[in-house]
Structure 1
């Protein structure tokens, strides 16, 4: 039975600052705990970050695994962690919203595109950064993604 791609249970608000590696571990662990991926998928997420940053601009990072780990994805899913004070993703790039993503087949490309369109609007990023409830974040994401 397919799961919902994003639920309020998969959104963490007001997370204290941590390193980008800790943030990647956090969202990867959330993907695992929600049943979207196997624990091995985290290795693919770290490998992706080592090769190319997953910081996409406008205060957003979207960690996800390299293609070699796609078989570790059990269901398409998203998790979101809000960092009001930011996470340093290197080279002066600060992420305020870190979105872990796992997509079956080519679904991740479609989801990434929709998220990118949503967060290219700095107003949406500010709304996400300072949202007070998981429902508020879910609504902002659903406006642009679903």
Structure 2
């Protein structure tokens, strides 16, 4: 199973706050069978401990260390928020939910962070019109 698929990419989304955005990212992972519903609570819990906003218009919500058992398979959800969602002082325009088993977690997190550190890539993601454009960008930049 591919960790990035069209059904896990949501375009032109809106959320009233970061918690709704995180729930949306988690719900996509849940609907795809990657996690149990408790994992979404752990994603929200992690946000309380430390913001998952990493800069450059990107937030990467994921569960706490204790939530590993709630992950059934590795998967990524990607949500594009053209108007942005407030994550404290900054707005996130891309929210990428991660559920990763075993050693996949750091590799995926690092890969996404590297792709999104490039201003040009973030512009492409923010202006993408189709889910496939988003997946193509990540797949061309990451070893998935």
Does 2:63 align with 1:77?
A: no
Q: Once the 2 structures are TM-superposed, how far is the Cα of residue 106 of structure 1 from its aligned partner?
A: 1.8
Coordinate RMSD, CA, aligned: 0.8
Is 1:29 aligned to 2:27, yes or no? Answer: yes
TM-score of the pair, normalised by structure 1: 0.95
Give the deviation of 1:17 after TM superposition.
4.0
Q: Deviations over 1:58-96 (max 9, x none)?
A: 0000000001010000000001000011000002x1100
- Helix, strand or coil: the match of 1:82? strand
Once residues 123 and 31 of structure 1 are traced to their aligned partners in structure 2, the CA distance between those partners, rounded to angstroms, is: 27
The answer to whether the 8 Å contact 1:75/1:102 transfers is yes
In structure 1, stretches of 5+ residues that fail to align are: none
Task: After TM superposition, list the pairs within 5 Å mapping 1:1-146 onto structure 2.
Answer: 3-91=1-89, 93-145=90-142, 146=144
Q: TM-score scaled by structure 2?
A: 0.97
Structure 2 unaligned regions, length at least 5: none
Q: CA deviation at 1:18?
A: 2.4
Where does structure 1 differ by over 2 angstroms across 4 or more consecutive aligned residues? none
